[in-house]
Amino acid sequence: MGEESPTVPSRAPKRDVLDRLLVRFPRLARLLAAGARRIRPDSRFRRRLVERQVQRAFAAMARSDVEVVVLNYEPDTEVWMRDMSGVGLSDCYRGHDGIRNLYADLDDAFGNWWWTISAVAYGREHIVVGGDFVGYGRSSGVKTELTAGGTAVRFSPRGLVAWQEWPVAAWLSKPAAKDKVAEFMRGSRPLMEWLDTHVGPSTASERRR
């Protein structure tokens, strides 16, 4: 028998005042994202803002709060789910409707699931978030774990997610992944160069609406 699924953990709090405000006024979320992007990339203040944004996004993910999640994404975003067809996920989800479909598919596969963030690496247009995944099968209750996983994100000029990939690359599933993640988190330049080479800069218009 599989390990019994626990209740939703405290790392998935309910919506706070800011979440409720941003859902009610989505334009405010876009203004905040654009404002954060105008801050110098190497600014400690910007890094704190990004870390807070990541924490809020992962908390919303853990409670499948899709209306909060989509506030972080461009309308034509692409989210790639590598090697996850075994749990019923598609390879790619596009746009806000695609994000909603992604979370519907995740909730079909898992009763409870969440990521625990371990580190964040920063670039001018990219971030990489390292973490561990735990999920419990909705029907079976079987526990699924992914250690040293993570996601790579490319931002648009508006500060919203234009492209995302889970996990960052194939080596995340290998035994040496933890060492590589730690190395990249200490000095993110190699991974940012990989993103620049394989993904490139955003081609979205600065004033796209």
State the pairing for strand pair 161-166/73-81. parallel
Give residue-wise pLDDT tens across range 18-34.
999 999 999 999 999 99
Give the tokens for residue 9: 């953990």
Give residue-wise pLDDT tens across range 47-76.
888 888 899 999 999 899 999 999 999 999
Residue 181 above 80 pLDDT? no
Compute CA distances 32 → 22, 54, 58, 154, 186, whole Å: 10, 14, 18, 17, 28
| Whether the Cβ atoms of residue 156 and residue 178 lie closer than 8 Å to each other | no
State the pairing for strand pair 110-122/161-166. unpaired
- The pLDDT-based confidence of 179 (bands split at 50, 70, 90) is low
Q: How far apart are CA 206 and CA 10, in angstroms?
A: 38
Structure confidence at residue 207 (pLDDT): 37
Give the full edge-to-edge strand order of the sheet including 143-155: 92-94, 73-81, 161-166, 143-155, 126-137, 110-122
| Whether the Cβ atoms of residue 9 and residue 136 lie closer than 8 Å to each other | no
Indicate the range of 41-50, 107-116, 150-159 predicted with least confidence: 41-50
Of residues 3 and 103, the one with the higher pLDDT is 103
| Whether the Cβ atoms of residue 192 and residue 121 lie closer than 8 Å to each other | yes
Structure confidence at residue 92 (pLDDT): 95
Architecture of the domain made up of 17-198: Roll (3.10)
Give residue-wise pLDDT tens across range 99-142.
999 999 999 999 888 888 888 888 778 899 988 888 898 888 88
Percent of the chain with pLDDT over 90: 38
Q: Domain ranges in the chain? A: 17-198
